[in-house]
Structure 1
Amino acid sequence: MKLKGFITLIVLVLLSCTQLKAQNAPAIIWDQSTLKQVVPLSGNKSADYARMIQLHNGNLLCVYESGSGIECTQSDDLGKTWLSPVIIARPAAGVNMSVPEILELKDHSLLASYNPRPNKINGSWDTTKHFAIRTKKSYDHGKTWQDERLIYEASYKFEDGCWEPSQIQLPNGEIQLYFSNEGVYTHSNEQNISIFRSFDSGLTWTTKPEIVSFTPGHRDGMPVPIILKGTKEILFSIEDNSGGQFKPSIIRNSFNQNGQKMVGANDPEHTYALTPKLPDTVYAGAPYLRQLPGGETVLSYQSTFGRNSNWELACMQVAVGNSRGEDFVNTATPFSVPLNKHGLWNSLCVLKDGTIIALTSTDAYNSYTAIWMITGHLINKKDTY
């Protein structure tokens, strides 16, 4: 067989294997009747960057950006109705509070993290105001917030900032807070994923960031960690531009390693998430990782696939992976977003019964950006034939 024919055969075999994986893997069916605006309750201000969890009492709690600050709202009927917003963090003079994340701890207190981001004033940066990572706690299911902590400060300049905190709690009680950090690369455009640790439910934190993922010359970003069910392994998704345009990758770390190894692009603990790979020209950033009660993993990201090349007009897509957080296939689009609109900074919430809630910040349904949700369920594709 000639070399060209052999290569063609190999490509066809690999494509066939990929198609077989997709045929055998579960898929998500989105219930369009559940499409609902969460916030704002009126159109006097926009809302962005929502993250949601189901509390131990069954209520849903959603945190988000609004009016340059951080708010939360709660639902006691699985998202049909939402209570009036509660302010978690107000903006400061010249500083927006951004990109919140939320975690319920083992003692049922809530830990919110967020990212103060300075603004230029008269075209210049204020050297007294720094990009930072902060946390705040609630002991009454999100009604009031206290115990604010400053965990980290980067530079006062956008080019040397820090970004996008997200946290998990290990079985031994340790909290790990992951974030994107370019504050240590003041002479390059690089960025790593670092962590801080707390051993007292978020009241005190380690003082030095530990780098857990870094690709020299590139920008590992937007980490979202999970603890893989039935294992002693931590997975976190990142947006990874080591191949050009951002794509989702998965980083894994065992409890024994516990973040002691810095994972690089060529390490076995760093894997491309999607099967098959997206074209190099497609942007697919801001990934968000979760796991279902049955073990399957789900990964959302904002993508230009099938759209134009402008990432600011990307929309949400969701893929299904196996119980190891691998081979994410059967990509679905939960929200119908016109090509001239956006659906950005998306996330997923998995309920105790396995229901999947997708959240997006979009202007597809209003003249302003609002948080919208829709519910979906995993089905076995073979059972539908």
Structure 2
Amino acid sequence: MNVTTKQIMTCILLTAVYSTLWACKKNTNPENEITPERLMAQELQITPIQELNQGITTINSHAASTARSSLKMNYRSYVSLGQSSLGATTPNYPRVKKLANGSYILFFHNNQIGASVRYSTSPDAKTWTPRNEIFKSYPITDQDGMANERRFSNGDALVLSNGHILAVASYRANAGFLKKPLDAGIALRRSTDNGVTWSDPIAIYQGINWEPYLLQLPSGEIHCYFTDSDRTGTVGTDTGTGMVVSNDNGSTWTPAFGSDPYYVLRTRYEKNGTTFFNNQMPSVIKLNNRNELAAAIEANTGIDYYISFAYSGTDGAWTHLTVNQEGPEDRNDKAFLGSAPYIRQFPSGETVLSYNRASGFHMKMGDTSARHFGDNYTPLTGGFWGSLELENSHQVIGVFPNPSSGVIKLAKFVLNHRVNATVRTVQVDGNSSEWTNTDEALFVGEKSQAQATLRVAVNRDSIYFLIEVLDDNIAAEDFATLLISPVTTNDQLTNGARRFMVSHNGLRSTNGYNAGWVAGNPQSNVRASFQGTISQSNDTDRGYTVEIAIPRSKLVIQAGKVLVNFSITDNAGGEDAIFNTSSTSTAKWIEVSGL
């Protein structure tokens, strides 16, 4: 093997600061000689975020601290899917699902109002392969005896508890669909082999509709919600949410085909003396540890679009309304401006809502009851009608179309919330081998390929922090910042706060807080390791790790807790933080407990 300049530099640079263990020198025994080739094989251990947070999840474990929880897009997960991945030129209305075998399926239609519903599949949510049209338009003779075409839009799907996939779509007559309710409805297909093959379609509802959405309850009961548009031919904004129900895994549905649906979500509005109802584009979840259902719905008041919420009550059963009745009583109408909501809930309790506004894909974090939502977060732009899918206990997938560019944007978002320190004694040497993937971790890394995680451990003497930075191109000026604050009643920085700036070669600076960050040297032990060639862009680096030990006596710990904020500053992406590091507010800093 030829020893390249990069290998020699990596041999020199893959080193724990203040340690001679990795020195590139000959041993007196040739068989034990530490050569550049041997050292290259011992790659610096950096655990990516998707391999962390692997401990046991307790349902609603973070119910008391959801207001501090936040999301961060994982830049390395981001893909922009075009025609080669989708087989479509103007994809819209994307719905992504994680399948029982760990692979993924993505439904969408071409153009704003589709003629057929298509799908693509992926083993890893990165590389996608276009498949056939799952709901394909075809000629019909319509209810008036005229030649017409059946078209499909708004495909969505549900992975059942048995692993089967149910896919649904709205169908309609192409010409004059508003006046042809007998030629409109909802079609359903099933796959028992993770989307490889599909059953023949069956029609489960008849009537003009849009935006079907499926939910399965723990009992096995399946709900198909949809926008009931039977009256929009008279008043364009007169809609509500209807529902049909299956108790046999989707084989049969009630009310029967041709009957009125169960009317479940309807709000009365007036415009220019005209009364109409509206609640559309439903997305519904069963809340953790309770029977109650929470619905996020779009409210088109005829003036603007709003996000509204409705709640079933503790029995989990919606009241069946008449077509001229408003309900349910427990609701939050016009909570804020927006359209096209999609809602999910993490096992730890946080609800997360996506919605559209001004061509942006917005997200809000909510509490365990989906009643109080926080600040707006807009990671994607360019279109409308996005959606969400839970990846696991700490990640959610977001998809958002940009039809004008002919792409669907997809990314995974990491949940940052309260972490419990792991009890262990750490040998502070810049080596992460003592830490495990069951440790609870925080994440930053939405601005560039550079990303980092933060983990915490504790013993009776010290608090330990591990920072791991994946970075393909380490620059000399890159660094990470750890900020620590006591828990305060007013969520403001106090004199007990500390700041540590570290990099690939260890500690850069430490600061205390006194109406601003001031020079100081809180006692700490900092060691770092890195692998790469610093400030050279013609190769690929691995990154760096930093271990920090701080005596408990040097931190203000109240009730076993502190607050942390965390950022990396990268030459390419700039600063990327959990929360704005220049703010004096700690309201969105993350709680560390168990200290």
Q: Please state which band the TM-score falls in when normalised by the shorter chain.
A: 0.7 to 0.9
In the alignment, which of 117, 126, 130 is matched to residue 183 of structure 2? 130
Residue 188 (structure 1) aligns with: 235
Residue 6 (structure 1) aligns with: none
Q: In 2, are the aligned partners of 1:39 and 1:372 still within 8 Å (CA)?
A: no
Secondary structure of the corresponding residue to residue 356 of structure 1: strand
Q: What CA distance in whole angstroms lies between the structure 2 residues aligned with 1:106 and 1:170?
A: 9
- Rate the CA distance shift 1:131–1:380 in 2: closer, same or farther, 3 A: same
In the alignment, which of 381, 385, 399 is matched to residue 359 of structure 1? 399
C-alpha displacement at 1:323, in angstroms? 0.9
- Rate the CA distance shift 1:192–1:125 in 2: closer, same or farther, 3 A: closer
C-alpha displacement at 1:127, in angstroms? 4.8
C-alpha displacement at 1:268, in angstroms? 4.4
- Indicate yes or no: 2:129 matched with 1:89: no
Q: Pairwise CA RMSD of aligned residues? A: 2.9
C-alpha displacement at 1:117, in angstroms? 3.1
Aligned pairs (5 A) from 1:42-191: 45-66=89-110, 68-77=115-124, 79-93=125-139, 94-120=149-175, 127=180, 130-154=183-207, 161-184=208-231, 187-189=234-236, 190-191=238-239
Normalised by the length of structure 2, the TM-score is 0.52
Segments of 5+ residues of structure 2 without an aligned counterpart are 1-63, 140-148, 269-275, 419-562, 566-588, 590-595
Q: In 1, are the aligned partners of 2:101 and 2:194 still within 8 Å (CA)?
A: no
Residue 310 (structure 1) aligns with: none
Secondary structure of the corresponding residue to residue 41 of structure 1: helix
Q: In 2, are the aligned partners of 1:27 and 1:330 still within 8 Å (CA)?
A: no
- Rate the CA distance shift 1:106–1:380 in 2: closer, same or farther, 3 A: closer
Q: What CA distance in whole angstroms lies between the structure 1 residues aligned with 2:289 and 2:68?
A: 20
In the alignment, which of 291, 298, 304 is matched to residue 345 of structure 2? 291
Q: In 2, are the aligned partners of 1:318 and 1:332 still within 8 Å (CA)?
A: yes
Secondary structure of the corresponding residue to residue 316 of structure 1: strand
Q: What CA distance in whole angstroms lies between the structure 1 residues aligned with 2:363 and 2:339?
A: 12
Q: What CA distance in whole angstroms lies between the structure 2 residues aligned with 1:107 and 1:32?
A: 33
Residue 18 (structure 1) aligns with: none
In the alignment, which of 331, 344, 364 is matched to residue 270 of structure 1? 331
- Indicate yes or no: 2:384 matched with 1:344: yes
In the alignment, which of 204, 214, 230 is matched to residue 266 of structure 2? 214
Residue 415 (structure 2) aligns with: 378
In the alignment, which of 369, 377, 383 is matched to residue 406 of structure 2? 369
Secondary structure of the corresponding residue to residue 195 of structure 1: strand
Q: What CA distance in whole angstroms lies between the structure 2 residues aligned with 1:303 and 1:71?
A: 25
C-alpha displacement at 1:102, in angstroms? 0.7
C-alpha displacement at 1:28, in angstroms? 1.5
- Rate the CA distance shift 1:128–1:27 in 2: closer, same or farther, 3 A: closer
Moved more, 284-293 or 59-68: 59-68
- Rate the CA distance shift 1:272–1:183 in 2: closer, same or farther, 3 A: closer
Residue 26 (structure 1) aligns with: 69
Aligned pairs (5 A) from 1:178-257: 178-184=225-231, 187-189=234-236, 190-206=238-254, 207=256, 208=259, 209-216=261-268, 217-242=276-301, 244-254=303-313, 256=315
- Rate the CA distance shift 1:185–1:85 in 2: closer, same or farther, 3 A: closer
Q: Give the share of equivalent positions with the same residue, in percent.
A: 26
Pairs aligned (count)? 332
Letter in 2 for 1:30: M
Residue 38 (structure 1) aligns with: 81
C-alpha displacement at 1:147, in angstroms? 3.9
Letter in 2 for 1:196: V
Q: In 1, are the aligned partners of 2:79 and 2:411 still within 8 Å (CA)?
A: yes
Q: What CA distance in whole angstroms lies between the structure 2 residues aligned with 1:23 and 1:323?
A: 8
Letter in 2 for 1:40: Q
Secondary structure of the corresponding residue to residue 37 of structure 1: strand
Which protein is bigger by CA-based radius of gyration? 2
**C-alpha distance after superposition, 1:316-371 (max 9, x if no partner):** 11111011112111211111x3xxxx3111001111242121101104xxx54321
Q: In 1, are the aligned partners of 2:106 and 2:119 still within 8 Å (CA)?
A: yes
Q: In 2, are the aligned partners of 1:72 and 1:142 still within 8 Å (CA)?
A: no
- Rate the CA distance shift 1:48–1:210 in 2: closer, same or farther, 3 A: same
- Rate the CA distance shift 1:244–1:328 in 2: closer, same or farther, 3 A: farther
C-alpha displacement at 1:134, in angstroms? 1.2
C-alpha displacement at 1:128, in angstroms? 8.8
Q: In 1, are the aligned partners of 2:227 and 2:281 still within 8 Å (CA)?
A: yes
C-alpha displacement at 1:237, in angstroms? 0.9
**C-alpha distance after superposition, 1:58-107 (max 9, x if no partner):** 21221111473122222222x12123323311112323211011101122
Segments of 5+ residues of structure 1 without an aligned counterpart are 1-20, 155-160, 279-283, 305-313
- Rate the CA distance shift 1:143–1:328 in 2: closer, same or farther, 3 A: same
Q: In 1, are the aligned partners of 2:67 and 2:366 still within 8 Å (CA)?
A: no
Q: What CA distance in whole angstroms lies between the structure 2 residues aligned with 1:202 and 1:255?
A: 25
Residue 328 (structure 1) aligns with: 373
